[in-house]
Structure 1
Amino acid sequence: TWTGSWEQTDFEVAVGANGQCTADYVIPSNVGQTVKAMIFYPDASSVKIDKVVLHYGNTITPGTTAPQPSSSGKYTANVNQSVDYSKLPADDKMIGWEWSQFGIPANEKVVKVELNLSTTKKKIGKWQGAFGSSTSVAPDYWTITDDMEETFSGTSATLTWDIDSATSAIIQKEYGGMLKFGVWWIDCKQFTIDSITVYTDAYSGSSSVTTKVTTATTKTTSTSTSSTTKTTTTTKKPVTAAPGDVLYGDINLDGKVELVDAVLLNKAAADVVTLNTQQRANADCDVNNEVNANDAIVLLKFLVQIIDELPYQG
C-alpha cells in the first residue's frame, strides 16, 4: 500500500493438497487508498484469487461500516471514505465498491444510486464526473453514464444516478461486480464520501426513485446540501399502441416514446443488446429496413423536438 512511500510485506506460502493457500496481511494503520496483492512466483502456470476477506475488530473504522439491508428495496452503506483528488490514479479517476457490500438480493434490479459527500473546505464547488457499473453484457461487461457536471455552494451534497430500465436490466451485482464513482474534477480537492444509498425495483417508499417523463428539457437545481437532476420527455405521437402495431421509437415496448428508448436503441445499434421482432420494427425510425446508429439519431432529434414526427427520412 502507498502511504507516502511504498510499504510492502513479502510472503512465501505453501500450497495445500487441495490446491489452495491463504496469505494473511496485517494492514498498516496509515494505510493508503489502495491495497495491492502481487504474485511473484507461483509454481503453477496460473493462479486464481478466490476471495479477499477484510477483518476488523470491535472498533468501527472508516470504510468498514456494514450496509443496512432492507426488504423494502433501499440499501445504505455508510462508507465514510476520505478522498484526495490529487491522489486518484491519473488514468482512472474512479472510486469503486463491490455491489455485494450493499446486501441487495439477486432478484432485485438497481434503479437509483444516491452518493452523499461532504468537505471541510468552504464549499464543494464544481464536480465533473460519472457513475459506472459492471454489467452482464459482452464484450466490455461495463457501462458508464454520460459525463455529469454540478456545482454546489455548500459543504455537503447528494449526487444521483437515475438508472434507465435498459441499463438496470444488465447491471451485474454478483461475482465481484462493482459500482464506481468517477471524479474528473472537483473544486474542493479533499472530500469524504459519507454514504451511498441504493434503491431497487422493490422500493415502495413515499418518494419516487424513477425519472418522471413530462417535458423535453433537463433541469438541475442545486442547494447547499443537495442536488437533484430530473430528465423528462414528452412526445407528439400517441403514447399507446395495440400489440403488434408499430409505434416508432418505442423500443422497450411500454407504449411510450421517451429517453430510455433512445438509450436502448443506442445499445442495440452498438450490438450490446438484441431486439426482438416488434422492437426492431419500432426501432426503424428512418424506415430503411435496418436498425443502426442513424435510427438512434433520428429518435434523439424527435425527443428534443428538432423533428416533429416519426418515422422520418431526411
Structure 2
Amino acid sequence: MKIRFEERKDLKEKPTGNLGFGKYQTDYMFVMDYEEGQGWHDARIVPYGPIEFDPASMVLHYAQETFEGMKAYKAKDGRILLFRPEMNARRFINSNKRLSMPIIEEDDFVQAVEEIVRVEKDWIPTGEGESLYIRPYMFATEKAIGVHPSHSYKFIIICSPVGAYYPEGVNPVKIYVEDEFVRATVGGTGFTKCGGNYAGSLAAQVKAEALGYTQVLWLDGVERKYVEEVGSMNVMFEINDTIITAPTEGTVLPGVTRDSILHILRDWGYKVEERHLAIDDLMKAGHDGTLQEAWGTGTAAVISPIGELYYKGDVVQINDFRTGALTQKIYDTLTGIQWGDLEDTYGWTHEVK
C-alpha cells in the first residue's frame, strides 16, 4: 500500500506530567477513503485536525462505525514495539463484516499502524506504565437518508500518549453488577467493537458511578443470570484455584489481552475454564471465601484488579480489597513482554523499525 505524507508546519508541544488517558493527540493522523466500485484509495498521513463531512453522512443517522484499541511501547533499549497487531486487524475485519462495512486486509491494517507510529515515534512516552495509545476507526460517509449500507467510508488512525486508564492505577476497583439493562445478546453485535455497544452501556455506567462504583459488570441478555464482561474489559475470576472467564460465543468481545492472559495462565499450569458463571454462584463464592481474586483485562487498563462487587444491594469484598499475588504476577509478566523487559517466548511483540 502506497502512503503519501503531508507535513505540517508547526509541531505541537508534547505534554509533560500526568498524561491521563486520551487527553492529548499527536501531530498526525492516518486517513484512507473508500468508494464502492473503487475500493480503498488515497492512503495518507496528514496533520491531525477536524474532519469535514456532510450533515447527512450515514454514520450520524445509522451508526455504521467500528474501532480498535492498541498501544505502542518504547523499550529501554530504544525499540518500538506493538503487541499482537494482527489480532486487532482480524477483529477489525470481523467487526466490519458484522456491520456490513468494507474490510481492510490484515497486512494493510498493520502497515498503516506501523507507519503512523513510525512518524509519531517521538510521542511515545517513557514513564512508568506509559505508552502511545492507537485508535484505528472506520465510519460511513455516504450522504443519504435511508437505511442501507453506506457506499463510502473513511478509515482513520489517531494516536494519544497515555498513562493509566483508571485513576486507581493497578489498584482494586469497585464494580457494579447491572441487572436492569442489557449489553448484548446472541446474534447481536456484542463481539464487535462498535460505538453502539458503548453508547448503550452509558446509562448503567451513570447508575454505577452514582453509587460510587468505577465500572459495570454485565450479565447475559436472556436470563440476566450469567456474568459476561465489564464495560471496558473482559473479566476473570479465580475460584477454588480455577480461573473462570466467560466464553466468546457472540456476546463477549474476543479481547487480545484476554487471549494473551489465558495462554500465560495455562502455561503456568493453572486450570482455566471458559464457561458460563452464574452471578449468584459468584456472589456466594465471594461470601464463603472461595473467590480468591478477580481482575479485568483490556488494552487500555491492561489488568485492573477487582476489589468489590455490588449486586442488588449485596456487597462482597475480594482479597480484602487488595491486589492479589496472581493478579500482580499476570500484570508484571504481560507488561514486561509488552515493554520488552521480559523475553517474548510467544512471538507477540512486533517491532516497528
TM-score scaled to structure 2, two decimals?
0.29
**Greater strand share, structure number:** 2
**Greater helix share, structure number:** 2
